[in-house]
Amino acid sequence: MAGGGRDASPRGDLVFALWEPPLTELHGEKGAPVRRTATAETADLLTDLAVQGVRSVAFVRSRRGAELISVIAQERLSEVDRSLARRVAAYRGGYLPEERRALERALHSGELLGLAATTALELGVDVSGLDAVIIAGYPGTRASLWQQAGRAGRSGQGALAVLVARDDPLDTYLVHHPEALFRQPVESTVLDPDNPYVLAPHLCAAAAELPLTDEDLALFGPAAEELLPQLEAAKLLRRRTRAWHWTRRERAADLTDIRGEGGTPVQIVEEGTGRLLGTVDASAAHTTVHEGAVHLHQGRTYLVRHLDLEDSVALVEEAVPPYSTTARDTTAISILETDVEVPWGEGRLCYGSVEVTNQVVSFLRRKLITGEVLGETKLELPPRTLRTRAVWWTVTEDQLDAARVGPEILGGALHAAEHASIGMLPLFATCDRWDIGGVSVPLHPDTLLPTVFVYDGHPGGAGFAERAFHTAREWLTATRQAIASCECEAGCPSCIQSPKCGNGNEPLHKRGAVRLLSVLLRDAGVGA
Ligand SMILES: [Zn+2]
Ligand SMILES: [Zn+2]
């Protein structure tokens, strides 16, 4: 393997390697240095392993990433041997259950040598006898890291697990601080057990394994009892004799709509044939299957012709566009209630309820390899609102003066601190698959001050923002460190640029963010 890899401590028969993709010759946004992507590196590793006949699974964070990795690996393999290309595939949520079962069988029998999978593969699927596991990007918790790595290994044989770092603040931090991964106990889960959006899927998954008795219910907390009639009404669970049973034929983990987030999943249908390709969660439909979006499914590319929100259908057509698409959105946030407020010098650290209003307004078409922007297209989609929990901090004029952050760089400094803090949060607040979001404003109408919000992307909050509030000092200190120690000049994806930014990473001010956080944290030591 070439590049900037670092080996870490072996764990029994398992060799665990941390892998930082090398820098390329390219320049990114605002001349930032560009690393090879974790996607490209993972595809290369999967290809090399398949050529050697090594059975591997690559765990990938996004559905799109899983599709891309399998396509790239298939292309590379077909150059070596045509028959090999068919032995690598993608696996993700949103496939039809029959398709997923067929892939699981093929992996089990050895017909498939390599699979690029999202965590949809984790739950309840028996994957044993793998020789190698590649983890493309830190999965959010040490628990899932070890769970995924643990899929590699047959008795009496050595196995390999590789964590390929993505170009973001957290992965970069971990590759350079392996002790954060290897010398820490596995964290406890912080999901808020009283939140129905969190509890419902847990109850269903548990009942699908073994009918739930009253004694079992006690383990799920007091909210479980109230939720059961709703799950019964939704025809998910049924009470028979003394226990609650799972009533569906699908596995609970396959159902995307248990959480009840934002309504019916959108069906992806091929125009012309009427064939159902798969589904996408309602909450993700605006950003992923809007009109003009590029959709990937098992190595084929489709263009979305029409998104019908009323009937929850996206009509797609097979095509080979020389670009990918990224949605752009605007987000506004209002404070509904402040639960706790802690003075940090003159500034404030707060936790409470917020309403987030998000609207996808356009999408960019980017060249496939270089990411160069080819053009932007406006979209007319309705705004979506989310009531959730958030942590936020404010600073005053005096603090801005002390940090030498003037009005011309204020927006950029706040925005940069917001991005980096979102990037670092999974290290402190155990978060696996539910997104968090952020908003930064030079003058927020509710606080009347410069304010940075970080919110749970889950209706009602999943305990994530609360945890951020309680570890705020450590969390923002690590954030400051990650930005200050990054070798780039004015910001890069390893520190303050975010691939998820709905604002195209504008404006950002790296040094302003470091100075602002320094003042805030200095005052936190005094105030709290
Ligand atoms: Zn940087
Ligand atoms: Zn942003």
Q: Other C-beta atoms within 10 Å of 110: how many?
A: 11
What residues flank ion ligand 2 with Cβ within 5 A?
501, 503
Query: What is the model's pLDDT at position 217?
Result: 76
Distance CA 456, CA 466 (A): 9
Q: Is the pTM of this model over 0.75?
A: no
Structure-token pair, residue 413: 């400094």
CA of 29 to the centre of ligand 2 (A): 13
Residue 21 CA to residue 39 CA, distance in Å, equals 10
Sign of CA dihedral 278, 281, 286, 287: negative
In the chain the first and final C-alpha atoms are separated, in Å, by 48
Distance 329 CA to ligand 2 centre (A): 10
pLDDT of residue 453: 98
Centre of ligand 1 to C-alpha 511, Å, is 11
User: How far is the C-alpha of 352 from the C-alpha of 463, rounded, in Å?
Assistant: 11
- Of the listed ligands, the closest to the CA of 453 is 2
Q: Which residues contact 494 (CB under 8 A, 6 or more apart)?
A: 35, 167, 168, 169, 172, 486, 488
pLDDT (0 to 100) of residue 255: 52
Measure the CA–CA gap between 101 and 125, rounded to whole angstroms: 9
Ligand nearest to the CA of 441: 2
Tokens coding 443: 């003058």
Which residue blocks in 141-255 are alpha helix, DSSP H?
142-149, 169-176, 179-182, 196-209, 214-219, 223-233
> What pLDDT is attached to residue 9?
36
Which residue, chain included where needed, has tokens 């129905």?
A: 196
Ligand nearest to the Cα of 423, by number: 2
Residue 148: per-residue pLDDT: 84
Tokens 């003042």 sit on residue: 519
| Helices (runs of H) and strands (runs of E) counted in the chain | 16, 22
Q: Please name the residues in contact with 33: beta carbons below 8 A apart, sequence gap of 6 or more.
A: 23, 27, 488, 492
Alpha helices in 186-332 (DSSP H): 196-209, 214-219, 223-233, 282-288
Distance 507 CA to ligand 2 centre (A): 8
Measured in Å, residue 400 CA sits from the centre of ligand 1 at: 23
CB 438 within 8 A of CB 332: no
* Ligand 2 centroid distance, CA of 396 (Å): 22
Ligand nearest to the CA of 168: 1
Taking the centre of ligand 2 as the mean of its atom positions, its distance from the CA of residue 417, in whole angstroms, is: 10
| CB contact at 8 A, 424 and 475 | yes
Of all ligands present, the nearest one to the C-alpha of 421 is: 2
Ligand 1: centre distance to CA 183 (Å): 26
Question: Which residue intervals of 289-396 are DSSP H helices?
Answer: none
Residues 6 or more apart in contact with residue 443 via CB below 8 angstroms: 449, 450
The rounded Å distance from CA 418 to ligand 1 centre is 14
Both tokens assigned to 400:
């801005």
**Distance, CA of 274 to chain centre:** 31
Q: List per-residue pLDDT tens for the chain, 528 residues long.
A: 333 333 333 334 678 888 888 888 877 777 788 888 899 999 999 999 999 999 999 999 888 999 999 999 999 999 988 899 999 999 998 898 889 889 999 988 889 999 999 988 865 566 767 889 999 999 877 777 887 887 887 656 778 889 999 888 888 888 887 877 876 665 544 555 556 666 776 777 777 767 888 777 777 776 777 778 777 877 778 888 788 888 776 666 555 444 445 577 899 999 988 888 988 888 789 999 999 999 988 878 999 999 999 899 999 999 999 898 989 989 999 999 999 999 999 999 999 999 999 999 999 998 876 777 899 999 999 999 999 999 999 999 999 999 999 999 999 999 999 999 999 988 887 664 457 899 999 999 999 999 999 999 888 887 889 989 999 999 999 999 999 988 888 898 889 998 778 787 889 999 999 999 999 999 887 433
- Nearest listed ligand to the Cα of residue 500: 2
Measuring CA to CA, how many Å separate 43 from each of 58, 77, 116, 153, 166? Answer: 9, 10, 9, 21, 13
**How far is Cα 460 from Cα 389, in angstroms, rounded to an integer?**
6
Q: Which ligand is nearest to the CA of 329?
A: 2
- Rounded to the nearest angstrom, the distance between the alpha carbon of 483 and the centre of ligand 1 is 7
